[in-house]
A and B are shown apart, each in its own frame.
Chain A
């Protein structure tokens, strides 16, 4: 089993709700707290597991805004685990989730250097490295109704742009989505083989804006406008 996220760049509206839901859940989760630095000061900052960037793809007039949520990719070749000298970082054999044992981490930052996706952030208050747990304290919680055993970011996404599931199972919804929509991994040339995949924006037929066939209502409106102008 290889649990991870599939993120649909076509429907993501860039509202940051996933990041906020993540912060809310995980600040009292297994690696809690997600410390805020100077939250009411001039330059607030803090630890987040999920960050959303916004890119402009292409040049005007053929450009498009793409919202880009990023969290831990739970890579198959997780170099962050290989380089960790203390054994605090580990990848679970049963579901491929990469975690940091907060009791073992010495805060050397080396794993964050090894991560190409910026998934790891040092908590300066606890002195330990923190990262996305794929809401491990939620997806395996038998007290939670079964349909809610999903990461907080997936549960909250209003655009249904996030999917959670087993990438190893070729018939799982996430694997199907990756197959049908041409889902891809980020920076494949580094060969980290991330579990999380991104679905590219769909190609839509352009909506013509000139020479629109005028409907009857519009004709009436134009006629009224002319009358009122006079």
Chain B
């Protein structure tokens, strides 16, 4: 698949933004590490809103005809993309209401505040699920058609959120030991889930050039694609990556997305050096951005079988 930056940013940033909101709700619900104070809560909510907005705005850059984008909310009965849009928009009033409530009443943990933040967090989590299902329902792409896709989106969205909240506490010089623990657990869980995903998609399977042409009992080779230069189909679906290159990029992804953030958070909490908190945040966002890029480049659409690929 063509790794369009607009779509990569959509799931990367909005996933992280919803993760921040969900974890803000959990931290304030249970007053983990004393809970977030009003200033920290407002910073977290604003960060969440900024992240989600970056994701949503960049996704409109992917549309070839954005003047009809408002129609994307109409088919929520059948389309996961429409559901994602509906829930993403529904998230804003609750997140804004919580922000305004905390600003005027400092009520991060009173009844109204908790109801608002939990609703916002819940809607965010539902949106992440819808985003994962956009890809997971496609039977045409074996690497996406698995329940591991929404599971990975959850784990990584929450890992980004936890890393950012732990870093925020460290930067503001507040106790953050439990928050760091949560972030480490979520980062480790994401790394394991991604490993399971890579194991799963590495097994051969799915349609072949034989079932695509119906000549099931003989070898089939492409002689001519029927076009002299690229078409929409080759530009959108033709991207691929050599195995060796994919492996080295995966290694780099694991280092930036999981190993550096974990190490930086641990060193940061031990040495109380603020710089390590910043390193953790930038590293996890960059690393999971690379992960999302790989997610697209490794996805092999079955239409490639009609352009000569033997198996997808």
A→B interface (CB under 8 Å): 16, 19, 43-45, 47-48, 51-59, 65-66, 68, 70, 79, 81-88, 103-110, 112-118, 121-122, 124, 126-128, 184-192, 198, 200
Contacts and interface: CB of A to CB of B under 8 A. Distances in A.
Contacts of B78: 81-84
B202 interface: no
23 contacts: A51-B231, A52-B226, A53-B226, A54-B226, A55-B209, A56-B223, A68-B213, A70-B306, A84-B75, A85-B85, A87-B74, A88-B71, A103-B68, A107-B65, A110-B79, A113-B1, A113-B141, A126-B65, A186-B214, A187-B212, A190-B302, A191-B139, A200-B215
B138 interface: yes
A188 B81 CA distance: 26
B231 A58 contact: no
Contacts of A52: 226
Nearest to B81: A85
A124 B64 CA distance: 7
By Cβ-Cβ distance, the 9 closest A-B pairs, closest first, are A107-B64, A127-B65, A127-B64, A85-B82, A86-B71, A106-B68, A107-B65, A118-B303, A85-B81
B11 to A, nearest CB: 14
A86 B68 contact: yes
B275 to A, nearest CB: 41
Nearest to B299: A113
A192 B63 CA distance: 26
Contacts of A16: 226
A104 B68 contact: yes
Given A82-B78, A106-B68, A114-B138, A43 B231 contact: no
A70 B302 CA distance: 14
Contacts of A53: 222, 224-226, 306-307
A106 B302 contact: no
A104 B71 contact: yes
Contacts of B73: 85
Contact of A51 (B63, B219, B226, B229): B226
Interface residues of B, number: 56
Given A56-B221, A58-B219, A84-B78, 6 more contacts: A45-B229, A85-B74, A103-B68, A110-B134, A116-B207, A126-B65
A109 B236 contact: yes
Interface in B52-79: 62-69, 71-75, 78-79
Given A85-B72, A85-B81, A58 B65 contact: no
Contacts of B69: 106
B255 interface: no
A45 B226 CA distance: 12
Contact of B66 (A54, A103, A106): A106
Contacts of A108: 62-64, 72, 81
A227 B142 CA distance: 69
B137 A83 contact: yes
- Which of B212, B215, B226, B301 has the largest count of A CB atoms less than 10 A from its CB? B226
B306 to A, nearest CB: 6
A86 B79 CA distance: 9
A13 to B, nearest CB: 13
Given A82-B79, A84-B79, A85-B75, A128 B64 contact: yes
A103 B212 CA distance: 33
B223 A105 contact: no
Contacts of A121: 231-233
A85 B213 contact: no
B240 interface: no
Interface in B77-108: 78-82, 85
A66 B214 CA distance: 11
A201 to B, nearest CB: 9
B302 A58 contact: no
B306 A118 contact: yes
A58 B219 CA distance: 5
B229 A44 contact: yes
Contacts of B65: 105-107, 126-128
A16 B80 CA distance: 38
Contact of B71 (A58, A87, A110, A114): A87
A167 to B, nearest CB: 17
Contact of B81 (A47, A110, A117): A110
Interface in B10-30: none
A198 B222 contact: no
